[in-house]
């Protein structure tokens, strides 16, 4: 499926401000066709978060949005990331995001490497000063690197875009939305991409990513 997407958002199931369906409704009005709700999880709550989001699929469809029920594995020891990603997928998660080594939070060193090594992971969010070796692992395993609009996390967008280009790694543009004011319209997504150094052609390619093809790659 093509069209406007956001693969990284949060609801009241973790630290977001909106009910899942309010988030979906607002995204629908902005023109999104695919939205992933990826609330923060660790070993204590991954399965119930996925099971709760499953109950919103029909409501999302009635608003014209394809809901991807997902998780963002957050501040989990690197050695546990692969097992938790596998557990989330087994519970029915459509997408697994890992909270990368952003420069503004004390994420454990090795998180980026653990995520990029795991084929059950789909997106490495705000990966900070990711290395070219980790990006090549991500490319090999079909994992996208995120360009984000979220304050602080977005400080390294230019580096992420450059490293992804050098490694042949897929980029995605996400909001990491927690509140209504975080949501991006199409123009805002373009600004994030261009601000990270993407050309107009590269920007169009990333924004029009076929999510179905990406998720099965």
Q: What is the pLDDT of residues 136-190, one digit of tens each?
A: 999 999 999 999 999 999 999 999 999 999 999 999 999 999 999 999 999 999 9
| Global confidence as pTM | 0.97
CA angle 180, 182, 183 (to 5 degrees): 75
Domain count, the chain: 1
Which domain range does residue 117 map to? Answer: 4-216
Query: Which domain CATH number covers 64?
Result: 3.20.20.140
Residue from 132, 42, 53 nearest 81 by CA: 42
Query: 119: helix, coil or strand?
Result: coil
Residue 33 burial class via C-beta count within 10 angstroms: exposed 0-12, middle 13-18, buried 19 and up: middle
Collapse the DSSP code of 81 into the 3-class scheme (helix H, G, I; strand E, B; otherwise coil) and give the result.
Answer: helix
Instruction: Return the pLDDT at 2.
Output: 65
């Amino acid at each position: 499926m093509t069209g406007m997407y956001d693969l990284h958002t949060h609801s009241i199931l973790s630290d977001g401000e909106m009910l899942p369906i309010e988030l979906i409704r607002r995204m629908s009005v902005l023109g999104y066709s695919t939205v992933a709700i990826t609330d923060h999880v660790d070993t204590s709550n991954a399965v119930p978060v996925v099971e709760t989001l499953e109950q919103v699929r029909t409501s999302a469809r009635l608003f014209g949005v394809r809901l991807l029920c997902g998780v963002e594995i957050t501040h989990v020891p690197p050695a546990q990331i692969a097992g938790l990603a596998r557990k989330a997928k087994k519970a029915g998660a459509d997408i697994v995001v890992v909270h990368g080594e952003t420069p503004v939070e004390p994420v454990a060193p090795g998180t980026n490497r653990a995520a990029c090594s795991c084929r059950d992971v789909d997106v490495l969010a705000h990966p900070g000063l990711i290395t070219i070796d980790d990006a090549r692992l991500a490319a090999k395993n079909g994992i996208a690197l995120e360009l984000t609009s979220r304050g602080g996390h977005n400080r390294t967008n230019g580096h992420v875009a450059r490293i992804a280009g050098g490694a042949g790694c897929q980029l995605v543009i996400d909001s990491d939305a927690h509140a209504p004011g975080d949501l991006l319209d199409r123009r805002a997504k373009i600004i994030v991409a261009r601000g990270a150094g993407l050309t107009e052609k590269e920007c169009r390619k990333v924004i029009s990513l076929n999510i179905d093809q990406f998720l099965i790659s």
